[in-house]
A and B are shown apart, each in its own frame.
Chain A
Amino acid sequence: MHIPDGYLGPATYLAAYGAMVPFWSAAAARLKRTLSLRRVPFLALGAAFTFLVMMFNVPIPGGTTGHAVGSVLVAVLLGPWAAVAAVSVSLLVQALLFGDGGITAYGANCLTMAVVMPFTGWWVYRVFSRGAAPNALRRSLAAAAGGYVGLNLAALATAVLFGIQPALAPDASGRALYCPFPLSIAIPAMAAEHLLLFGFVEAAVTGLVVAALARTEPNLLQEPEGSAGAADAQPRWKRWALALLVIALFTPLGLALPGLFGAGDAWGEWGAEDLAEKAGYLPAGLQRLEGLWKAPMPDYAPPGGEETTLLVQSLWYIVSAVTGAVLVGGAAWGLRRLLGGRESHGPSS
């Protein structure tokens, strides 16, 4: 995952440094506010801990081993902004003292491993662990899911940085100056190894360390940085519902705006008739599979489709949006209940 020097062109690594500046500034400002410089040892040792996480090999299916990155684990333990600082410092020491990860690629490595990974992983952890007791099984599972998602998204970001190099910086003969693998190779290669192997290592390490700490020192798993916990879960839920409702009310814009700008269907989202018209024929496989499933609310349109008035279509659009949001929200709630039903609510010992 550590990008060495020479794999990214100046346009990419300078842009990555530029993208990191607001994150570093915000992290420094937040840490000053919440941590104070007197607590620097915690941050320093947190950074050292992220380094140590990589020193532990974990067996993965197939008889091989891998090591975790640890960014999500640090985000779970110290909070995402502290993770930005701790992982950035850890990557700096790795780049300067150990040659692991490049100096020019340092900004890009921070973007993937100190921003994308801890934030996405921490969000997943927060969603699934909200309201869980520090020693609940759900908290460990949420941490494992956060580790898996965080690592895979970081790998995807790395693959994109690699994959855009041939298009961004070819030499006079059209050959790649830096990483030679296009997106069509970089993304599947990175995705395959991280989805199938290293994602599980990260998940195992993150989840199991949280479980181990939950048993021995559950107070370490209190919500860091004054983040909202179970107490305000209900008001937050209501705010989310209100925000979704407002967004649903605006969805008819999706009907009006394309007509206003003369836009057609989104590329690749054609129906069978549209495709037959564009391509001149209808592929046999598509013809066979097209009628396999009849959607109850096709095209988010009322019965009668475009022949009805714009007002009816708009109302139907809003109904579709609310129905979809309720179904997705219900599924997430059900999943949470399902996982929550297995947790233990014992007092912290």
Chain B
Amino acid sequence: MDLLPEWIQPGLVPPSTPAPASNFASRTARRALGRIVRASALLMGGGETAEGFLAGIDARAKLLGVLALLVAATLARRPESLAAAAGAAWVVALAGGVNLRRVSLVLSFVPLFGLVLALPAALSPVTPGQPLLVLLRYPAGSWGPWHWPADLSVTAGGVYVALRLLLRTTACLSLGALLTASTPGPALWRALGGLGVPAVFTMTAGMMARYLDLLLRAAEEVHLAKISRGGSKGAGFERAWAAASLGEIYQRTRRLADEVTRAMVSRGFTGEVRLLKDGRFGVKEVLFLAAAFTGAVALALG
């Protein structure tokens, strides 16, 4: 029994240490870790797992159709049309059997980011108009290009503008998420190549997505190690730690790139890009495109 070091002996109560969660460094690392885990979840829950009629449609058709709908969503003027577009995207996602968790993950930041940008638009200094709710009263004035009314209020016109902006963003994001949640990454890059995007970009994007998961795991390990060690030596130390970690990950990135290049070259890669055979445009694709373009015209004119 005595052969074991004291700290591993059974029954030993470890000395109390300050909870790592309470310090600034740990909080910072945890926040970053949350972002990494979310990114990993999005990468892992890709279109590969998608089933249903949307997954069976050629990626080029989906890409063209969604692009048309996105342009239409940016042309639409009425909030009702935009709400209908966002709703329709969700109905198609449900009916098409796409990974709803992935769609909701993509959309999870809309309320926060959208509200931060859209809410001030509802206020009288940005959108003047009929006040709905007066928040503050002060003397009106102007300074240079800035003019402010006699009160800070939520205006009817402002609410309309903010609502339209929020709905437009939600509709666009829902449509984009519909595409990516129902299409595996490699098919998406192939579709982009099919639409004329240079091979150097599509191939790079494909490889980036593939190796990103690996590098995200490296970043996750770095953050986990940081959290497990706890304790902070101040903001300067934190900055130095982030820089050193990034430097290390960059070196790891270069080593990995070297290995991948050698592996590719040893398997006969000469720089010529050979894409897997694209699917065929059948009745399904034509019907999908017809529906998407009809929807786009209705949305733009509605």
Interface on A for B, CB 8 Å cutoff? 4-10, 13, 24, 28, 31-32, 36-49, 51-61, 63, 65, 67, 77, 85-86, 88-90, 92-93, 95-100, 102-104, 171, 173, 175-181, 183-185, 204-205, 207-209, 211-213, 216-217, 220
Contacts and interface: CB of A to CB of B under 8 A. Distances in A.
Contact of A211 (B113, B114, B243, B256): B243
B75 A10 contact: yes
Contact of A44 (B208, B258, B271): B208
Interface stretch (B3-11, B91-99, B245-253, B282-290): B245-253
8 contacts: A6-B74, A36-B271, A41-B258, A49-B253, A55-B32, A56-B245, A65-B28, A216-B251
A38 B246 contact: no
Contacts of B301: none
B166 to A, nearest CB: 9
Given A7-B165, A10-B75, A184-B145, 8 more contacts: A28-B198, A41-B207, A85-B200, A97-B209, A100-B109, A208-B240, A212-B243, A213-B251
B21 interface: no
B239 interface: yes
A56 B165 contact: no
A56 B32 contact: yes
A47 B208 contact: yes
Contacts of B35: 54-55
Contacts of A8: 74
Given A37-B200, A209-B246, A213-B250, A57 B176 contact: no
Contact of B161 (A40, A49, A85, A176): A176
Contacts of B265: 38
B127 A175 contact: yes
A41 B261 contact: yes
A180 B247 contact: no
Given A6-B169, A48-B212, A40 B244 contact: no
A39 B269 CA distance: 11
B201 A89 contact: yes
Closest 5 CB pairs of A and B: A208-B243, A5-B172, A212-B247, A44-B207, A6-B168
B209 A93 contact: yes
Interface in B12-69: 24, 28-29, 31-32, 35-36, 39, 42-43, 46, 67
Contacts of A181: 120-121, 126
B133 interface: no
B161 A180 contact: yes
B200 A177 contact: no
B42 A97 contact: yes
Given A48-B215, A98-B42, A208-B243, A28 B121 contact: no
A204 B238 CA distance: 11
A98 B74 CA distance: 20
Nearest to A56: B242
